[in-house]
């Protein structure tokens, strides 16, 4: 299935393709503050619909995940990184996807503080 999403002001828009089986909620210092519900997909299944110049990026800790956000409204719609096997992945913030029922998506909890 194809989904569309954006930041709050619309300067970052994207399409993501795949089946949303579950979301991941992490309690690391970054994710807890953002309140992100993450959906991991191959990077090739995410297509940016706005110019890449609209993305601001934050790196922290080991600098392996590019946390993209909108410098205008502050929303973090997705990030990019590498899976343990080296494949490129996108980490979509399900809270930025249009017209989905978040309450119907199971949420798995990850203890990112333990790392």
pLDDT value of position 70: 97
pLDDT value of position 115: 65
> What are the tokens at 92?
């979509």
CATH code for the domain of 69: 2.170.150.70
Q: What is the pTM of this model?
A: 0.93
Provide the number of structural domains found in the chain. 1
Domain membership flag for residue 94? yes
Per-residue pLDDT, averaged over 85-108, amounts to 96
Per-residue pLDDT, averaged over 28-35, amounts to 90
Per-residue pLDDT, averaged over 96-104, amounts to 96
- The pLDDT tens digits for 43-81 are 999 999 999 999 999 998 778 889 999 999 999 999 999
Domain membership flag for residue 115? no
Q: Which domain holds residue 44?
A: 2-110
């Amino acid at each position: 299935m194809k989904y569309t999403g954006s930041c709050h002001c619309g300067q970052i828009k994207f399409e993501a393709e795949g089946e949303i089986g579950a979301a991941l909620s992490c309690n690391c210092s970054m994710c807890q503050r953002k309140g992100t519900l993450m959906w991991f997909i191959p990077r090739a299944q995410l297509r940016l619909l706005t110019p890449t110049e609209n993305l601001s990026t934050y790196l922290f800790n080991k600098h392996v995940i590019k946390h993209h956000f909108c410098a205008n409204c502050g929303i973090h719609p997705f990030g990019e990184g590498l899976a343990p096997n080296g494949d490129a992945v996108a980490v979509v913030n399900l809270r930025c996807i249009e017209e989905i029922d978040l309450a119907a998506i199971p949420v798995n909890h990850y203890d990112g503080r333990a790392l």
